[in-house]
């Protein structure tokens, strides 16, 4: 049993995606038209290892209700954000049901995650935004994206399999005094699986990490517990302090709430 004077682990909400069961090899055809919610298990594993209690969020999880209980959120990776949300070229959007192809644009996921991010920021709930999640964070604050990074000296859409600590060319340099500099030092080698990136930052966001070609790899919201990283900390072969950071921020928020309730 947990001692009475020990704080409970903070609840960390983790986003995912939704697809039809027919995509799963060997699934019963009678249920093929039904949907499953999917979450990358490595997020939950790393959050739990850092001392948090992972909570998977479906699109049906009421945003205000979730934010009333959650102590932090993690917005995960996946398909591109719909270009209509950031003024991009909508001609690239295919008329394909995202439930039958989990890599095409999914407006339901976009709408849910943007609403979740905005609600979390309003309530000062800590946010860790990963890869697509960083782009969702930027778009939620009015920012824009680079639709497709040109080939260059740094390989951003890596051919390496997860987990990996990345290739020697993918080194991110961090701004002094930033959250990421406090976690990683002056620079860090990271993995990379993205073809889009931040173009213009949303309101209040600042760039705190870039690769040598200038691509944005980390953003923060000064004065708030908000961190966006373009790499995949859940798929780093070694440890990544991003999870310890978000759980620590969540625990701090939870402790503050408990103290207020005891007044």
The answer to whether 220 is a known catalytic residue is no
What's the token pair of residue 118?
């905005």
Q: Which residues contact 191 (CB under 8 A, 6 or more apart)?
A: 158, 160, 162, 163, 164, 165, 166, 170, 231, 232, 235, 236
Select which of 82, 105, 113, 131 is catalytic.
Answer: 131
Select which of 113, 217, 234, 249 is catalytic.
Answer: 234
Select which of 82, 170, 194, 232 is catalytic.
Answer: 232
What are the beta bridge partners of residue 188? 172
The separation between the first and the last C-alpha atoms of the chain, rounded to the nearest angstrom, is: 26
φ, ψ of residue 160 to 5 degrees: the values are: -70, 150
The answer to whether 29 is a known catalytic residue is no
The answer to whether 232 is a known catalytic residue is yes
Active site residues: 131, 232, 234
């Amino acid at each position: 049993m947990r001692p009475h004077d020990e704080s409970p682990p903070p609840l960390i909400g983790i986003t995912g995606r939704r697809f039809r069961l027919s995509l799963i090899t060997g699934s019963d055809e009678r249920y093929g038209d039904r949907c499953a919610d999917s979450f990358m298990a490595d997020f939950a594993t790393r959050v739990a290892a850092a001392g948090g209690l992972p909570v998977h969020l479906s699109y049906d999880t009421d945003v205000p209700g979730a934010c009333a209980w959650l102590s932090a959120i993690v917005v995960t990776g996946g398909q591109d954000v719909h270009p209509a949300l950031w003024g991009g070229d909508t001609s690239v959007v295919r008329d394909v049901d995202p439930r039958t192809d989990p890599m095409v644009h999914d407006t339901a996921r976009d709408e849910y995650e943007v609403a979740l991010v905005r609600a979390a920021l309003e309530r000062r709930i800590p946010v860790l935004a990963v890869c697509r999640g960083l782009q969702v964070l930027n778009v939620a604050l009015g920012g824009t994206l680079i639709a497709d990074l040109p080939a260059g000296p740094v390989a951003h859409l890596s051919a390496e399999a997860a987990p990996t600590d990345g290739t020697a060319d993918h080194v991110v340099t961090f701004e002094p005094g930033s959250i990421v500099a406090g976690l990683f030092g002056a620079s860090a080698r990271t993995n990379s699986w993205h073809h889009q990136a931040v173009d213009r930052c949303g309101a209040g966001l600042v760039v705190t990490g870039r690769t040598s070609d200038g691509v944005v790899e980390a953003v923060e919201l000064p004065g708030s517990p908000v961190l966006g990283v373009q790499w995949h900390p859940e798929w780093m072969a070694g440890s990544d302090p991003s999870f310890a950071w978000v759980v620590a921020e969540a625990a701090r928020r939870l402790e503050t709430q408990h103290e207020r309730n005891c007044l």
